[in-house]
Amino acid sequence: MLGHDDGYFTGNQEQSNFFLENVQAVMRSFKAEVVYEDSTDAKTGEVRHFLSYKVPFKNADEEVNILVIAKDITDIKRLKIQAEFNEKRLNYVLETTQEGVWDWDINAGKVFHNQYWFTLTGLNESQSSFDDFEACILVEDRAKVQTALKNCLEGDSKYCAEFRIHRPDGQVIWVLDRGEVVERDALGKPLRMIGAAQDITQQKYDKHQIEQLAFYDPLTSLPNRRLLHQCLERTIIYNQQHHSVAAVMFLDLDNFKMLNDTQGHAFGDLLLVEVAHRLKAAIVQENTIARFGGDEFVMVINKLDLNHSAAAQQVFDIAKHVHMALSKPFFLTSNIPGVEKGIHVEHQLTASIGVVIFNGRNFTEVDELLKLADLALYRAKTEGRNQTVIFDPSMQQDLWAAQQLQNNFRKAIGQNQFELFYQPQFNDERRIIGLEALIRWPVPSPNKDLALVEYISPSDFIPMAEETGLILPLGIWVLTHACQQITSWQSHPILKDMTVSVNISAKQLWQPNFIEQVCEIVKQAGLKPAQLKLEITESVLLNDVVDTIHKLHVLKELGIHISLDDFGTGYSSLSYLKRLPVNEIKIDQSFIRDLMTDESDSIMVKAIVDLSKNFGIGVIAEGVETEEQFNQLLLFGCRQFQGYFFSKPLSLLQLKAFVGLLSA
């Protein structure tokens, strides 16, 4: 500095003036001072900061001098500015973040929180201790949080916990809280922990909603088919690992469709919800109950006895409980808009249950289990409903046999393997008046040498044909052949005036184009409509009654006769007989069989004959096997007959021979 003035060091005139004036002022006041000053480097133009100690003193001549010690603090100042900037930034982040940040001084037991933490927890700033925080965690979640914290404080793991907070305003929210130990002493003792809590209530809710939609039935809130599948997979694995036994119970409400059809779907839904409640109440909690679809429910019963028959007994006990729970009447109230008090319906219900018991070794596929339980359920249904059936392997053989039959039947339709037999019908003078066409399915005899043909009885394949819908093509085949057969006898003295009765399945009648089909077939064959009788059963009433009755009217108006087959075995005969446009009723053979021995059957037959007379419709007795039966029926006033007493169903050849005999 020697030999230079202030201006030499700083290119800035203002600064050099300040330095001079400041030094002079300090000297004048004769008091030491600390001065912060900036100086622009004359060479580089860089502004640097100095901390200057300015100490005035007098020399030996009593003249005032000054000692200046300047320290370049440019770097320190920069750091300070940086620190201030960082602090501001941190505060900004802390105040704007949607996370409740906490900074826990563990030794002092003090916790710093940002503003949002208070917003999140609903606590106020005087409640910022760790205890205050812990107190607002839901009691049942506290242990979880404590364990997570303990693990973090003791080890190196980070802290992470999801739990619920009970806010002072009463709201319960879900929180995701995460943090870590940021400082430990030399011995590893934690000193400080920092973390942040997030409100995840909405996420939890969304997740729940999504799960609910994906895995639960919206109507009953029970697990749906998908969740059931997972649950069964787990049960199978559990059984395998623990050598335990479980059961799948497949439950189907009996006649649920009836309630749905008669009272409407709203009541059907109400009933399903109530059934779900009762089922849940009827089984213990560790067992699963799911809605499989429609009116089908599936229960998974865990930890059954290892002994099969003991397990079966347990299953029957549970099933009994379920049957009982469902047997109490259901009181359903539907709130129909506009109807003030709603509509009340009382409904009585039964259910069928199919069960498969499994141990992790015998059945290991979910679909297989469900299929077998369903098979047992089917058996429960066919054996009269309102019961529980446990699967046994013979059912599977029956199933295979049924599938075999179905395959063969399909082939038979394709290859035209069927034949029609005709069973003659007679009047009171034992004169032949008509024929009932009865389907026959010939199968080659096992003994080929004899070239004998055996027939599969219609009762063995018609129900299957109905179930599979194959009755439709078969029905058309029968109708076509029967009509053509009658017209081909136009020149035959006896057969030319025969009526032909053709059995029509309900499914056929329900076809929208049934009338057109019949008309077309009759026209093609050139048959007089009055020569055709369609035999229907009351089962035609199980679907759209109005449409069915309308169709029968149309057929009747076309001149085709309608005969009500198997009369007396249905459930609604009398109430519908009035409305059903039939020409004739056919007394079911079960009444004729015991006509001579069972008084109630005899009364019934007489009543049916009288009834038909009063209604002005014809009556025919079928299954007449003896002369006594015939005479008794004559006494009752019956004038038409069919049965083995007169003739069995005959092949074409046999029929011609039979008619030849008659005319001879």
Q: Which residues bind Mg ion (CB under 5 A)?
A: 503, 535, 565-566
Total site size for ligand C2E, rule CB under 6 A: 23
Q: How far apart are CA 180 and CA 70, in angstroms?
A: 45
563 interacts with ligand C2E by CB under 6 A: no
Question: Of 605-624, which residues contact ligand C2E (CB under 6 A)?
Answer: 622-624
The CA angle 394-400-404, to the nearest 5 degrees, is 145
Q: How far apart are CA 190 and CA 209, in angstroms?
A: 40
**406: number of Cβ within 10 Å:** 16
Query: Nearest-CA neighbor of 52 among 77, 74, 34?
Result: 34
Query: Nearest-CA neighbor of 417 among 381, 382, 455?
Result: 455
Q: Which contiguous run of DSSP H or E holds residue 102?
A: strand 100-105
> From residue 572 to residue 591, what is the string marking binding to ligand C2E with x (rule CB under 6 A)?
-----------------x--
Query: Binding partner of residue 643 among ligand C2E, Mg ion, none, CB under 5 to 8 Å per kind?
Result: ligand C2E
Three-state SS for 69? strand
**Are 408 and 621 a contacting pair, CB within 8 Å?**
no
Query: Binding partner of residue 478 among Mg ion, ligand C2E, none, CB under 5 to 8 Å per kind?
Result: ligand C2E
Give the residue, chosen from 625, 626, 654, 656, that forms a contact with ligand C2E under the rule CB under 6 A.
625
536 interacts with ligand C2E by CB under 6 A: no
Q: What's the min distance (Å) between Cβ of 625 and ligand C2E?
A: 4
Give the residue, chosen from 94, 165, 222, 478, that forms a contact with ligand C2E under the rule CB under 6 A.
478
Give the residue, chosen from 264, 442, 458, 529, that forms a contact with ligand C2E under the rule CB under 6 A.
458
Q: What's the min distance (Å) between Cβ of 612 and ligand C2E?
A: 17
- Cα end-to-end span (Å), the chain: 160
Residues in the chain: 664
Q: What's the min distance (Å) between Cβ of 537 and Mg ion?
A: 8
Q: What's the min distance (Å) between Cβ of 603 and ligand C2E?
A: 21
Segment lying near ligand C2E (by CB under 6 A), choices 101-109, 355-363, 403-411, 639-647: 639-647
Q: Tell me how far CA of residue 584 lies from CA of 331, 431, 474, 563, in angstroms.
A: 41, 18, 24, 5
Token pair recorded at residue 658 = 């039979």
Query: Binding partner of residue 584 among ligand C2E, Mg ion, none, CB under 5 to 8 Å per kind?
Result: none
355 burial (CB, 10 Å; 0-12 / 13-18 / 19+) is: buried
Q: How far apart are CA 500 and CA 535, in angstroms?
A: 10
Query: Binding partner of residue 618 among Mg ion, ligand C2E, none, CB under 5 to 8 Å per kind?
Result: none
Q: What's the min distance (Å) between Cβ of 623 and Mg ion?
A: 8
Give the residue, chosen from 638, 649, 658, 659, that forms a contact with ligand C2E under the rule CB under 6 A.
649
Q: How far apart are CA 100 and CA 118, in angstroms?
A: 7
Q: What's the min distance (Å) between Cβ of 655 and Mg ion?
A: 17
509 interacts with ligand C2E by CB under 6 A: no
Chain centre distance of CA 497: 58
Q: What share of the chain is helix, strand, coil (3-state, %, to 5)?
A: 45, 25, 25
Q: What's the min distance (Å) between Cβ of 498 and ligand C2E?
A: 17
56 interacts with ligand C2E by CB under 6 A: no
Applying CB under 6 A, the residues found at the interface with ligand C2E are 423, 438-439, 457-459, 462, 475, 478, 503, 505, 535, 565-566, 589, 622-625, 642-644, 649
